[in-house]
Chains A and B, each alone.
Chain A
Amino acid sequence: MESQSAPTRSGWLAKLLWGAVAIIGAAAVGGIALHRGETINSLWFVVAAACVYTIAYRFYSVFLATRVLLLDPTRATPAERLSDGRDFVPTHRWIVFGHHFAAIAGPGPLIGPTLAAQFGYLPGTLWILIGGVLGGCVQDFVILFFSIRRNGRSLGQMAREELGRVGGGAATLGVMTIMIILIAVLGLVVVNAMKHSPWATSTVAATIPIALLVGVYLRFVRPGRVLEGSVIGVALLLAAVVGGGFVDHHPDLRGWFDYPASPLALMIMAYGFCAAVLPVWLLLAPRDYLSTFMKLGTIGALACAIVILRPQMHMPALTQFIDGSGPVFAGPLFPFVFITIACGAISGFHSLVASGTTPKLIANEGDARMIGYGGMLMESFVAIMAMIAACVLEPGVYFAINSPPGIVGADAATAVATITAWGFPVTLEQMQNLARDMGEVTLFARTGGAPSLAVGMAHIFSSLSGGSLLALWYHFAIMFEALFILTTLDAGTRVARFMLQDLLGSVYAPLGRTGWYPGVLMSSALVVAAWGYFLYQGTRDPLGGINSLWPLFGIANQMLAAIALCVATTILVKQASRRRYALVTALPLVWLVTITSSAAGYKLLSANPRLGLLAHAQDLQAKLSAGTGTPEFLLQAPRLIFNDHLNAAMTLIFLIIAWVVVFATLRIVVQVLRGAPTSPLSEAPYEATALNLR
């Protein structure tokens, strides 16, 4: 490293430069932490993030690469050794970076920080920065590296080989259950953005025929010309946003797209089923091309807009809701800020991509640092931008959009009075004007994060167009979010279908055949029914669904990250020369196990009915037995009680899976420390590279 080189002139200059970056970064983080004024400029956040990321990349990732993992640029990667022109292809590092980032950047880092803003901007921002550089980036980097050393093996395979059959089985089960919860919660986010919004619904609906059209173009008109197809598709998508405005203003047409949440949930389920069953070329792949271009373009544009405009943020550093009484979701700061931020700081799902497509494309081991560690830094920056966009709103407006009617009251006047009484002034007129500006009938109780993020983005983008076109920007942002949420939903349903078929195939062989239509239809229907149940119940939950589903998703996602870190720690511990560095993965692992276990503990054991699932069920049961409440409530109560028990069971399953894997890891660590033999490392032998792509 440079700090050890002779003190030449350039060495001193470098030290001076990095010293300056460190001081500016520390000042920006300190400024964010200590600032207590009415508003704070978003530039502080951008500068703090930029300095923290560059220092982490320059020093910590180099430490990981040169001391812990010992990246070897002379060693041939699977892309070179197993090159087949299709799956394994040595690819330029910037291309792999682009693919990797497009794969890991989903709706999570946009929604998590938006929800976590109920604690104020400070806790979420600090965790995105710290959790990102010490947790998420490390996880992505080490899993990518270990997969490269194992011929591009998946996380499940690595878990089986390194942890044994029990650990491997638990990991596979974990992946499947997280998929179900993930799809349900993302579906709910889209439904909440579309309910009673003809503009949003018609625009999102238009993305389906547009994807089909692009699919046909790429299959029959100009086979495989992805760029052409995508350009046509993106142009049509933009036209669909404008067209949605036309539909919204048309007295007859708007009725066709005006639905409450529950029917929309059923439509999403029907759509998910079709997407899983139809050929990939027709719907799934073209939608993905469109969403990738849209995603990268919009994220880039948002970054530019924030840097140019430097908007003021109105949310305080901390709110009173750190005590756990927040309206957006229940639960105290510890551990729920970590569970809620989830993907913006560390996401277990990334370990599936880092041990999937990416390791098969990397041409040189040395590229793994930039792609694994650097890719996650970018994702973490997306989370910072989402935090900025959420905090640009007046806090009163933020809470009016994100609070479910079960907490602030079903009618607008009560909601406004409740939120104002919390110390976040907001008026009915202000909300009506905002809804009118955004081209919506109402923005109250649009829980899920997507609408408030879209309002924030619309504010930022419309400043570029002189404060006009708010409604267009709002619906553009909704379309952008819905587009890649639906891509995740399609792709997730399909992958979960394959996993289920794999499982069912061991019971009755034909069910495992991906070409046997009855098997395909049945397994797809089962997967859709599983996530559809959670989604549908979420739309009928008086507390808004997100309230219970997002923490469940957060726990599942962090659990998957814990599994990935267990695999990484085991591999490090098995190698005598690296053992002392195992703390780089073991410390984030201990932290993740602590937060997932305590969050699960709260969800299962808390006596507060808003937080504890079982306490909520008991509370409902008591009311039901006493016969208190409206006839509607008495009708709903048994279903709500069942859902509470189901959610509690899911939480318990996640907890058990995580601990099974942790014990499998501990067993191997103890064996190693005692000097007992363990299962050998499954690393592929060294072969020198003949490539020179760098």
Chain B
Amino acid sequence: MKRPWLQTLTTLWRQFNGDTAYACYCQHLAIHHAQQTPLSRGEFYQAELVRRWNSVRRCC
């Protein structure tokens, strides 16, 4: 049985914890930079972490 609200909730939850970040990156590359080879999932995760933690991410 299809439950659209459940699907929306699951998508939001996966977006919140970052599980969809790689798919989002691949999609962006496919649309805007089709000639580039995307990073692998592992490489992408690694590169993202380094980028994110180079700025203020957590408050007091």
Tell me the A residues contacting B by CB distance below 8 Å: 83-87, 89, 91-92, 94-95, 98-99, 103-108, 154, 182, 186, 218-220, 223-227, 230, 280-281, 284-285, 288-289, 342-343, 347, 349-350, 352-353, 356-357, 484, 487-488, 491-492, 494-495, 498, 514, 553, 557
Question: Assuming the A-B contacts A224-B21, A224-B42, A227-B17, are A280 and B59 also in contact, with contact meaning beta carbons closer than 8 angstroms in the complex?
Answer: no
Question: What's the least CB distance linking B43 to chain A, in Å?
Answer: 9
Asked whether, in the complex, the Cβ of B60 is within 8 Å of the Cβ of A349, the reply is: yes
CB distance from B1 to the nearest CB of A (A): 24
Contact B42 A223, beta carbon cutoff 8 Å: yes
Among the listed B13, B25, B53, B57, which residue makes an inter-chain contact with A85, where contact means beta carbons less than 8 Å apart?
Answer: B25
Q: How far is the CA of A89 from the CA of B58 in the complex (A)?
A: 20
Given A95-B12, A223-B42, A281-B45, verify A103-B58 contact (CB < 8 Å): yes
User: Cβ of B48: which chain A residues have Cβ within 8 Å of it?
Assistant: 86
A-facing residues in B25-60 (Cβ within 8 Å): 25, 27-29, 32, 40-42, 44-46, 48-60
Chain A residues within an 8 Å CB radius of B28: 83-86, 89
| Cα(A492)–Cα(B60), bound, Å | 9
Write out the residue numbers on chain A whose beta carbons fall within 8 Å of the beta carbon of B52: 285, 357
- In the bound assembly, the distance between CA atoms of A217 and B16 in angstroms comes to 19
Report whether A498 and B54 are in contact in the complex, using a CB–CB cutoff of 8 Å: yes
Closest beta carbon of chain B to A95's beta carbon, Å: 5
A207 to chain B, nearest CB (A): 16
A89-B57 in contact (CB<8A): no
Could you tell me the distance between the alpha carbons of A377 and B7 in the complex, rounded to whole angstroms? 29
Per-residue interface assignment for chain B, residues 1 to 29, with 1 indicating a CB less than 8 Å from any chain A CB and 0 otherwise: 00000000000111111110110110111
Q: Point out the residues of chain A lying under 8 angstroms from B60, CB to CB.
A: 106-108, 182, 186, 342-343, 347, 349, 488, 553, 557
A223 vs B43: C-alpha distance in the bound complex, in angstroms?
A: 9
Give Cα A280–Cα B22 distance, bound, in whole angstroms: 18
Interchain CA distance A498-B17 in the complex, whole Å:
26
Residue of B41, B46, B49 with highest tally of chain A CB at under 10 A: B49
Determine which residue in B13, B50, B56 has the highest number of CB atoms from chain A within 10 A of its CB, and name it: B56
Docked-complex contact B12 and A491, CB < 8 angstroms: no
In the complex the two chains form, is B59's CB within 8 Å of A103's CB? Answer: yes
A352 engages B21 (CB within 8 Å) = no
Q: Is the CB of B16 within 8 A of A85?
A: no
Smallest CB-CB separation from A497: which chain B residue? Answer: B54
Q: Is the CB of B56 within 8 A of A92?
A: no
User: Which chain A positions have C-beta within 8 A of B55?
Assistant: 154, 356-357, 495
Contact status of A491 and B57, CB under 8 A, knowing A85-B27, A92-B12, A227-B19: yes
In the complex, chain A residues whose CB is within 8 Å of the CB of B18: 224, 226
| Inter-subunit contact A103/B42 (CB<8 Å) | no
A353–B56 CA distance with the chains assembled, in angstroms:
6
**Pairwise interchain contact A280-B53, C-beta atoms closer than 8 A:** yes
Contact A488 B16 (CB under 8 A): no
Q: Which residues of B contact A349 (CB under 8 A)?
A: 56, 59-60
Q: How far is the CA of A199 from the CA of B49 in the complex (A)?
A: 32
Q: Can you list 28 A-B pairs, Cβ within 8 angstroms, ordered by A?
A: A83-B32, A85-B24, A85-B25, A85-B28, A86-B21, A95-B15, A99-B16, A106-B58, A218-B45, A219-B45, A219-B46, A223-B41, A224-B41, A227-B19, A280-B49, A280-B50, A281-B49, A285-B52, A343-B60, A349-B56, A356-B56, A357-B55, A487-B58, A491-B58, A492-B58, A495-B55, A553-B60, A557-B60
In the bound complex, CA of A492 to CA of B57 (Å): 9
Complex CA–CA separation, A494 to B50 (angstroms): 11
CA distance A514 to B50 in the complex (A): 11
By a CB distance below 8 angstroms, the chain B residues around A154 are: 55
Q: What chain B residues lie within 8 Å of A87 (beta carbons)?
A: 51
In addition to A87-B51, A89-B28, A154-B55, 4 A-B residue pairs with Cβ atoms within 8 Å of each other are A91-B15, A186-B60, A223-B40, A494-B54
Given contacts A85-B29, A280-B49, are A230 and B56 in contact (CB under 8 A)?
A: no
With A94-B12, A491-B53 given, is the CB distance from A353 to B59 under 8 Å? yes
Q: Which among A92, A487, A553 is the interface contact of B15 at CB below 8 angstroms?
A: A92
**A98 and B53: CB pair below 8 A?**
no
**Inter-chain contact B25/A86, CB cutoff 8 Å:** yes
Known: A85-B28, A85-B29. A288 touches B57 (CB 8 A): yes
Query: Looking at B12, B18, B40, which has the most chain A CB atoms within 10 Å of its CB?
Result: B18
